[in-house]
Amino acid sequence: MSGFDQFADVLESREELQRLVGTPSEFSLKKELTALDEHMVRFIAHSPFLVLSTHDASGRCDCSPRGDAPGFVRVIDSKTLLIPDRVGNKRVDSFHNILQTGAVGLLFMVPGVGETLRVNGRAKLIRDVNWLEPLTANGKRPLLAVAVEVQECYLQCAKALVRSKLWEQHDRPDLSTLPCAAQMWADQLQMPEFTVERTQQLLDESYRERLY
């Protein structure tokens, strides 16, 4: 057996889930806002990293990391954000999904802070030069940006980051048994021209010379 066939006791309904985990408190429900308040705006200004979640018309999901200097995401107003697109691998899975459904979920993180900021909404890909110009970094103006119209936003409690000890430098996991990315990609690609050494060389060059 493989996949879901391995599991005998699977939840199938909202009612089953609610009986198992209970119902959310009034606090959990009321903290959700429909627009960014001043605290959320400050949080975004301090955030150098977010995760962008999207899905296509068939329901296929994608989750993509985005990062730059703190405040790289521009808050235009309480309902609108701009996320610049930096140089990547050109797969642009997130963008294909946005073109199909326009639905996005964002998770903002600030190093050293346990709480995260969740933002859900609608998105469009924009290329207005007057909006892209202020998003220039390292002398490079982005080709496009993701404009997000906020529908739901709230601060997520710190339990997940407390449990993971993500920001505790002294408690990082032992990486001695984790292969480097070059080794993983070489094994996955199975292409003779991409040896571990060559792949690592390409990665180092890309991180050094093509971040923007």
Assigned token pair, 73: 């995401």
Helix 181-189 to helix 196-209 angle, to the nearest 10 degrees?
120
To which residue do tokens 């990315």 refer?
181
Looking at the predicted structure, is the pLDDT value of residue 41 above 90? yes
Confidence band, pLDDT 50/70/90 cuts, at residue 119: very high
Confidence (pLDDT) at 28: 87
Q: What are phi and psi of 88, to 5 degrees?
A: -140, -150
**Over pLDDT 70: what percentage of the chain?**
100
Strand duo 80-84 + 145-156: pairing: antiparallel
To which residue do tokens 């975004």 refer?
44
Could you tell me which of 97, 71, 91 has the C-alpha nearest to residue 83?
71
CATH, domain range 20-164: 2.30.110.10
Tens digit of each residue's pLDDT (9 = 90 or more) over 164-191 = 999 988 777 788 899 999 999 999 999 9
Looking at the predicted structure, is the pLDDT value of residue 162 above 80? yes
Confidence (pLDDT) at 173: 79
Q: What is the pTM of this model?
A: 0.92
Contact 152, 32 (CB under 8 A): yes
To which residue do tokens 């993983």 refer?
184
Question: Domain locations in the chain?
Answer: 20-164, 173-209
Confidence (pLDDT) at 47: 98
**Over pLDDT 90: what percentage of the chain?**
88
